Amino acid sequence: MEQLLSLLKMNARMSLEDLALATNQSVEGVASQIEHLEKKQVIAGYTTVLDTTKLEPRPVTAWIEVKMNPKKDFGFDYLVDTLLTFEEVESVYLMAGDYDLAVVVSGTDLMEVSMFVSRKLATLDSVVSTATHFVLQKYKDSGFNLKKDQDLRENMI
């Protein structure tokens, strides 16, 4: 099963036939495993890894550290449930260390992300403080090396 998940993570568009061949299983067996993993939500969805430096306009991504006071009887879930409703929010992680949540946000520009933080995130009841870190350059994302083409561009300059 680990091999199947690894193959799907690197290429979710891989055919059932190719997955069966790579894992030494039948096509039916692979299809059944995938269906089971989807039902259990081990496979929560499928996505595409984008090199956003090649998009126009280029979206802005920020990692936001959030310190909060958890609500009695709800803990961190109270705030997380609210964060999950915002379209700007791409990911939310509970963290160990100096802050409680890491929130990944994207927008069309710095002002859009800034307005999200100041008008939506920082005003939530449980939020004590935030620290916003803007992504300047992505070199690797979800296991994919995005630096290959960057090296070529830099050598041309």
Q: pLDDT by residue (tens digit) across 63-119?
A: 999 999 988 888 899 899 999 999 999 999 999 999 999 999 999 999 999 999 999
66 and 124 assigned to the same domain: yes
Give the three-class secondary structure for 42.
coil
67 and 103 in contact (C-beta within 8 Å)?
no
73 and 25 assigned to the same domain: no
Q: Is residue 6 part of a domain?
A: yes
138 and 60 in contact (C-beta within 8 Å)?
no
Q: Is residue 84 part of a domain?
A: yes
31 and 90 assigned to the same domain: no
**From CA 40, how far away is CA 34, in angstroms rounded?**
10
**Residue 133: enclosing H or E segment and its boundaries?**
strand 127-134
Q: Is residue 157 part of a domain?
A: no
71 and 120 assigned to the same domain: yes
Residues with Cβ within 8 Å of 20's Cβ and at least 6 positions away in sequence, in order, are: 26, 27, 29, 30
**From CA 34, how far away is CA 14, in angstroms rounded?**
12
26 and 68 assigned to the same domain: no
Tell me which DSSP letter residue 117 carries.
I
Q: Is residue 142 part of a domain?
A: no
What pLDDT shows up at residue 25? Answer: 92
- Six-digit token string for 48: 């595409």
103 and 70 assigned to the same domain: yes
Percent of the chain at pLDDT above 90? 61
The domain spanning residue 60 has which CATH number?
3.30.70.920
Please check the confidence at residue 146 and state whether its pLDDT lies above 80.
yes
What pLDDT shows up at residue 153? Answer: 47
| Number of independent structural domains in the chain | 2
Percent of the chain at pLDDT above 70? 94
- For the whole model, what pTM was predicted? 0.78
**Domain hosting residue 122, numbered range:** 52-134
